[in-house]
Amino acid sequence: MGIEEQIRAKAAEYSDYTAKNLSKMVQVKSYSGQEEGVCRLIVDLCKEANFDEVYIDDLGSVIGRVGNGPKSIAFDAHIDTVEVGNMKNWDFDPFSGEIVDGLVKGRGTSDQEGGAASMITAGRILKELGYDKEYTCYFTFTVMEEDCDGMCWKYLIEEENFKPDLVVSTEPTTCQLYRGHRGRMEIRIILRGISCHGSAPERGVSASYKASRAALAIEQLNKDLQPDEDNFLGKGTITVSQMDVRGPSQCAVTDYAMLYCDRRLTWGEDADLAISQVTEYVCKATGDKPEDIVVEMPNYEKTGWTKKEYSQELYFPTWKIPEDSMLVQAGVRAHKALFGKAPTVDKWTFSTNCVATTGRHKIPAIGFGPGDENQAHAPNEITRVKDLEICAAFYAMLPYSLSK
């Protein structure tokens, strides 16, 4: 029996095991910055799977290892989740982890503790097969991604000097092979008016009206943005996500306005370009000079469950790698060996930790994960048990495929 048949058989044998491990994770609430319980659980599961090493870094992420080769690959899953939102939109307990009709149900099943469960099974398979090829296989179960994607990896690379040669994100891809996604950033705009009594508004300058014009200017900017040259990632986008307008009283013309924007960045766009575009469009709409307004990129600061303080600017660079690159082609070979056909090669719509590993630090990365992108942050979140099995097999096969 060839290695691909052995891996496929073991992934099928451990299908229930993988699903039950995911169910256990779902039952432990793990909002961003509150992941201690699920991290402790994952440590135990990795030890149970006989990983060569497992530890928790100072920021709270769990790092597991199988093998000891001269090269390294990291399979990454963030194990924090968003909150559940309005419970009236759920048809079942979001923390039940119920397994029924080939599905695992609950918050985090697709986004993205399903990937974490498949990673643990892959590590177990590699250990049982006595994997001793050229790659050290790391399995990273990372924190605070939902609040600040990539910060956990920025910390690992820049503070702990942990920089693998290759990365696989296990965010949901419907078991397709992804090779990039748009970046993103957050932009805050502050506009000033001149207050006066509301009975004579002509004496003042309304920040409310400036904000309204600015919001329409951002709408126009979104229409004017262009796709990347090969149209793989598509066009960038920008939208006003929050507005706050204030004055000294309810009977006064407003003198302060804040607009908060979500900006998605396609290939070739960066923070400097995005800031300059917003400045140009807003000033044209409001009549302000650039020095009279504030257009800035805020900073993210939060203390994790280990009480470690860390921060970064809210900028998450775009990334993609060529379809003919070594890593993508190894992924294609692994998929063909296991399932007899090439995978669909595509991209994410949303953003992942690869903004740090690949966008910032240029480590080649691909994505392959269980579950569907449209399940992310949605009520009644589910993932398929079969997806978990497929991904466990793919993760175990990829290091062998890379060695060919």
Residues with catalytic function: 80, 145
Answer yes or no: are the C-beta atoms of 128 and 51 closer than 8 Å. no
The dihedral over CA atoms of 19, 20, 23, 28, expressed in degrees to the nearest 10, equals -140
H-run or E-run covering 257: strand 256-265
Q: What DSSP string describes 333-397?
A: HHHHHHHSSPPPEE--SS--THIIIIIIT---EEE--SS-GGGTT-TT-EEEHHHHHHHHHHHHH
Angle at Cα 400 formed by Cα 320 and Cα 324, nearest 5°? 30
Answer yes or no: are the C-beta atoms of 313 and 300 closer than 8 Å. yes
Q: How many CB atoms lie within 10 A of CB 155?
A: 24
**Residues 210, 199: Cα–Cα separation, whole Å:** 19
Q: For residue 357, which amino acid is it?
A: T
